[in-house]
Amino acid sequence: MSFIATPQMMSFSEPLLLSSGEKLDHYRLTYETYGKLNAAKDNAVLICHALNASHHVAGVYPDKEDSVGWWDTMIGPGRPVDTNQFFVIGINNLGSCFGSTGPMDINPITQNIWGADFPVVTVEDWVHSQEKLVNALGINRLAAVMGGSLGGMQALSWAMEFPEKVAHSVVIASAPNLNAENIAFNEVARRAIVNDPEFHGGHFYEHKVIPQRGLKIARMVGHITYLSDDVMNSKFGRTLKNEKIQFSTQNVEFQIESYLRYQGEKFSEYFDANTYLLITRALDYFDPAKDYENNLTRALEKTKANFLVISFKTDWRFSPARSREIVKALIENKRGVTYAEIDAPHGHDAFLLEDDRYTSLVRAYFKNISKKIDSTVSE
């Protein structure tokens, strides 16, 4: 059993200017913290979430089964990111459906649910809003910002947007931008949602329906890309659901179909369709090199953090080659960077799973950080 986690909220009334030019006059961020902020306030670690996760990074909620945080294997007392040493902050992104201001909230101007009118947010917008919260917690400089996948993009962005405020940036299973194939998969997911007649142009809340069909397809497509070909073959292969083929085009024949349908079903029951659109778009848009003639080295020139970059060999969604682009650009800027390619079989999902080679590396890296923190505190 893990420790008890308690979600908290913080409201902001200073307007947040977004990349799109729009602004959010008021917003709230939901977050959780684990461990204690030290006197020097230099032991804080911010965890950024990926597509479908939230602020609930570690621990459990009382009396709620299956409520363990999404990165509980990585973060907690005695874990690789040790909450006996670090004050860890899990934060829910703007536009999400898990507590921070998002499409399911009331638009204060129209007094209707935002729905599809919620402003489009970018990775940089998230980072800017996260900085307000970090600031309000009295933290001037984070010991580390850490995330996997889209969370890794935020960790990278923090080092660019607030170079003075990040000591270490931990970028896992990520990329400096999405390639065409990834955008293509996101677009299939979005079209499945938008074309669902129950999407109602993104204002389905008023009709008291949910575009569940679209969400299911979106999640099924996503799931395929999170797993490696090999893991899918070893987990499911061509195993049939029944003893024999049923000769049916509409019923489940293979175990892999059953698995995907189940994942789609589950997802469609808890995830907001507009949030899915917003978050996949933030993924598509992220491209810090674009303002530097696509020169990532120049884009990363302003960073001051040290970096830990990790990729997984079987991850075809965010392949090692993409992580190496980041590493190369950092080295060209003479930044401190540790890079590892973990030979895990699980594809993109590997960043969420326990693998000793992976977790030991993170543990060692954070142990090094904590040594410097201790010495800072004792000064």
CB of 147 to a copy of itself, least distance (A): 22
Rounded to the nearest angstrom, the gap between the alpha carbon of residue 240 and the centroid of all alpha carbons in its chain is: 34
Query: Residue 345 is encoded by which pair of tokens?
Result: 């079989």
Check: CB of residue 343 under 8 Å from CB of residue 350: no
Contact residues for a copy of itself, defined by CB under 8 A: 19-22, 116, 119-120, 177-181, 183-185, 187-188, 190-192, 194-197, 202, 213, 216-217, 220-221, 223-224, 227, 229, 232-233, 235-238, 245, 247-250, 253-254, 256-257, 260-261, 264, 274, 277-278, 280-281, 284-285, 287, 290
Q: Which is nearer to a copy of itself, 83 or 122 (CB)?
A: 122
SS3 label, residue 121: coil
Q: Which is nearer to a copy of itself, 88 or 94 (CB)?
A: 94
What is the Cα gyration radius of the chain? 21
Report the candidate in 174, 120, 180, 126 with the shortest Cα–Cα distance to residue 152: 174
CB of 201 to a copy of itself, least distance (A): 8
Among 54, 96, 100, 149, the one annotated catalytic? 149
Q: Is 149 a catalytic residue?
A: yes
H-run or E-run covering 267: helix 255-270
Check: CB of residue 128 under 8 Å from CB of residue 91: no
Check: CB of residue 80 under 8 Å from CB of residue 362: yes
How crowded is residue 36: how many other Cβ atoms within 10 Å of its Cβ?
A: 12
Among 42, 125, 272, 315, the one annotated catalytic? 315
Q: Which is nearer to a copy of itself, 141 or 290 (CB)?
A: 290
Q: Which is nearer to a copy of itself, 55 or 190 (CB)?
A: 190
Q: Is 315 a catalytic residue?
A: yes
CB of 276 to a copy of itself, least distance (A): 9
Q: Is 174 a catalytic residue?
A: no
Q: How far apart are CA 137 and CA 356, in angstroms?
A: 33
CB of 183 to a copy of itself, least distance (A): 5
Among all residues, which ones are annotated catalytic? 149, 315, 348
